[in-house]
Structure 1
Amino acid sequence: MLTKETAERMVGVLGKLGRALRSSNHRWERLEVGLRRNDLTVLRRLERHGEQRMSDLAEAQCVTASVISRQIASLEHDGLVERRSDPADARVGLIRLSDVGRERLEAVTRRYADVFLAMFSDWDDVEASRMADLISEFADRVAYELDQHVDAHGRPVAAPESLVAP
C-alpha cells in the first residue's frame, strides 16, 4: 500500500520533472523542429484521435476557443493541418492532420528519440520501457481522477474523500 511519505516524494519528484521540462522547453523548440510544444500537442492529438472539432481541441488543450482558433490558423498556414466542414453540421469545422503535418510530426518524433537515445544511452532498455509504462499509467490516472472532480473551468465540484488528506 502506498504510504503518505512515498506519495509526498512522488509529488516532489514530479514537480522537479515539471520544472526541468519547462526550463528546457526553449531548447527543445530550437532542435531544428520549428514547432512549439503546444503545436506538437495538437498535432499528436490529431494523429492519435483523428479529425476533431475545434471545440474538442480547445477543451483538450485547456484553452479558449479564440486561442485554439489562432493556433489552428497558424498550423493551417504552415500546411500542417487541414480544415473542412462537418458533413453532419456545415456550421462546424473539423480539423485533421495533413500529410505534411504527419511527416513533420514523424520527423520531430525521430529527432526527439535521437536526443533521448543520446541522453540515456547507458540505461537498460527493459528498465526504460518499464519507466515509460509507469509514467504513462500515472499520467492517465491523474488526468482521469482530476477530471472527475473539476468542472469545465477547472473548479472543484466537490472535495472528494479520495483527494483529501486524512
Structure 2
Amino acid sequence: MDDNEKLLDKAIDLYLTGLKGLGSFISEPSAEYSLSFEQYLILKKIIRKPKIKLMDIAEERGVTRSAISRQLRPLLNNNYIKQEADPEDRRRLFLISTPEGKQVEHRISSLVMRRFSKWVDVYGKDRGAELLDLLEDFNKQIIMRRRK
C-alpha cells in the first residue's frame, strides 16, 4: 500500500467516525425542535436578516430555490417563520420569523454554544482554532475549487 492509499484510508476512517460524529453532535439540539441543523441555520439567518427572500438564501448557499423551499417547509409548518408579500411586488415573499421561531432559535443556539464550549474546554482554544483554520484552508483549496 502506497502513501496515498494510506492517507485515503485514514481520511475515510476520519470521515466515518469523526466528521459524521461531529455532524450528529452539532445537529442534535435542533432535532429536539423537529428541525435539521440546516433548517436551524436558515431560521437563524431569517432572524438576523428580517424580510430576506427565499432566493437570497438560495444564492448565498449556492443551491436551488426548490432546495431552500423544501428546507423552509418545516419552519413554516411549525410556525417558526411566516411569509409576507412585498407591498411593492406581491409576487415576492419576505421570510419573517415568528415569536415562537425566535424563542426556538434562541434555545437551539444556547444548546449548540454549550456543546461547543465543552468541546473547546476539552480540546483547547488554540488547538481548536488551528484545526478550524486547517479545515477552512482545505475547504477553500479543495472543496470550493472543485465546485467552480
Unaligned segments of structure 1, at least 5 residues? 1-15, 157-166
Contact preservation (8 Å) 2:35, 2:74: no
Instruction: Give the aligned partner of residue 164 of structure 1.
Output: none
Rounded Cα–Cα distance in structure 1 between residues aligned with 2:123 and 2:21: 23
State the identity %: 18
Instruction: Report the structure, 1 or 2, having the larger helix content.
Output: 2
Alignment match, 1:28? 26
Aligned-partner residue type, residue 111 of structure 1: L
Which one scores higher on RCO, CA 8 angstroms, separation ≥ 6?
A: 2
| Aligned residue-pair number | 132
**Unmatched 5+ stretches in structure 2:** 1-13
Equivalent residue for 1:53?
Answer: 53
Cα contact 2:120–2:128 (8 A) shared by 1: no
The runs of at least 4 aligned residues of structure 1 exceeding 6 Å deviation read 128-131
Quote the offset at 1:130 in angstroms: 7.4
Instruction: Describe how 1:12-161 pairs up with structure 2 within 5 A.
Output: 20-31=18-29, 32-121=32-121, 156=148
CA distance in 1, matches of 2:128, 2:51: 30
Q: What secondary structure, in the 3-state scheme, does the structure 2 residue paired with 1:85 have?
A: strand
Segment of structure 1 superposing worse, 69-78 or 24-33: 24-33
Distance (whole Å) between structure 2 residues aligned to residue 66 and residue 23 of structure 1: 28
Q: TM-score, normalised by structure 1?
A: 0.59
